[in-house]
Structure 1
Amino acid sequence: MKNVTDPFVSLGHWPSAGSFTFNTDILATNPINLGVVLGVLIYFGKGVLNDLLDNRKQKILSTIRNSEELRRGAIEQLERARAHLRKVEMKADEYRMNGYSEIEREKANLINATSDSLEQLENYKNETLHFEQQRAINQVRQQVFQQALQGALGTLNSCLNSELHFRTINANIGILSRAMEEIID
């Protein structure tokens, strides 16, 4: 049996082996076959290729239309979101302003309440000081009065004898009787 690879391996038995020449035989080179195949492909393939290109064109146009619709929907959503954001920002500004107003009002109330408390404490302090001063003055007066009374009693006891005592009583009776006579008249 003959080896299948022999014709490929042995190039020596070919007449043009080792040299390069153009083959001018048209039927041997198959340009007619290639032309016929290409013509058939172009003739029959033109419709298929046009159908494929039309389908592709329709898919691209459909995708573009869908993209445009999605874009319009996204723009509408964006506008709604912007409007909502503006509303939220206005609410936030309103809350912020109300919050600041409330804070200022609370601050003023706290300052007024603190001022009133300080004023009351100042009044209590002044009243307490005045009370303590009066109490101290009264204690000092009482002590001075007691000392003066004890001194006067001591002086009277040491200076008063029965004759001076008798004259003092008579003078007081005289004063009393004159006062009675004036009342009666």
Structure 2
Amino acid sequence: MTNITDFFVSLGYWPSAGSFGFNTDILATNPINLSVVLGVLIFFGKGVCASCILNDLLDNRKQRILSTIRNSEELRKGAIEQLERARARLRKVEIEADEYRMNGYSDIEREKVNLINATSDSLERLENYKNETLYFEQQRAINQVRQRVFEQALQGALGTLNSCLNNELHFRTISANISTLGAMEKIKD
């Protein structure tokens, strides 16, 4: 028996920092304190069953966990509903954005076509105005040339008449014109 006692005593002297060993010091291991606490619990809790207290504690804990789970589920359902509403709004906004984009492209295309048509009309009017101006200037130039040719021909004819016309020719021309006028008067009557 001394060997066993020596064994336990020798275990008590081993350094305990960082190693495993048995502590033979009764006051250091607190078995007295534990027995006092258990004695007090048994004395004062005679009618109370330890398993009942433990069951009540576990039931309370279970109820808190279940209520937390229910609250979490409700929050999750609310979050899912909000997510669905947000997705619906996003789809609606995307549809509206597509409509605005398409309308914008349509408006741009319409404006482009209108601008091209207006520019084409303006160019056509300018082309017509240019053609009218050219025609007017051509007609004016032709009229000026005609007037100049007529004046030169008239001056040439007057020059020829003045040089060729003598009194006798002049007298015959006047007589022929008077007879023509007289014949015309007889026809009228």
Could you tell me the TM-score, scaled by structure 1's length? 0.72
The aligned counterpart of 2:73 is 68
Instruction: Name the counterpart of 1:111.
Output: 116
- Does 1:148 find its partner at 2:148? no
Aligned residue for 1:21?
Answer: 7
Task: Kindly report which structure 2 residues correspond to 1:21-40, keeping only aligned pairs within 5 A, or say none.
Answer: 21-22=7-8, 33=32, 36=35
The Cα shift of 1:55 comes to 4.1
Which amino acid is the alignment partner of residue 21 of structure 1? F
**Structure 2 unaligned spans of 5+:** 10-24
Q: Tell me the residue number matched to 2:86.
A: 81
Match of 2:168?
163
User: CA offsets, 1:98-155, max 9 Å, x none?
Assistant: 2222222222222222222222112111111110000000110111111111111111
Count of matched residue positions in the alignment of Structure 1 and Structure 2: 163
Distance 1:139 1:51, change over 3 A: same
RCO comparison, higher one (Cα < 8 Å, 6+): 2
Matching residue within 135, 145, 153 for 1:130: 135
Q: Distance in 2 between matches of 1:163 and 1:172?
A: 14
Cα displacement (A) at 1:174: 1.8
In structure 2, the CA distance between the partners of 1:42 and 1:82, relative to structure 1 (3 Å rule), is farther
Instruction: Using structure 2 for the length normalisation, give the TM-score.
Output: 0.70
Structure 1, unaligned runs of 5 or more: 1-15
Q: Supply the distance in 2 between the matched residues of 1:157 and 1:60 (Cα, whole angstroms).
A: 140
User: Within 2, Cα distance between the matches of 1:150 and 1:41?
Assistant: 159
Pairing partner for 2:183 from 142, 162, 178: 178
Structure 1 residues 137 and 78: alpha-carbon distance in aligned structure 2, compared to 1, 3 A threshold: same
Partner AA of 1:95 in structure 2:
Y
Q: Secondary structure at the match of 1:21?
A: helix
C-alpha distance after superposition, 1:43-84 (max 9, x if no partner): 777666655544444333332222211111100000011111
Structure 2 Cα separation of the partners of residues 20 and 158 of structure 1: 180
Percentage of identical aligned residues: 71
CA 1:172–1:35: 2 relative to 1, 3 Å: closer
Q: Distance in 1 between the 2:73 and 2:142 partners?
A: 100
**Equivalent AA in structure 2 for residue 99 of structure 1:** G
Q: What is the root-mean-square deviation in Å for CA atoms of aligned residues?
A: 3.2
How many Å separate the matches in 1 of 2:84 and 2:179?
117
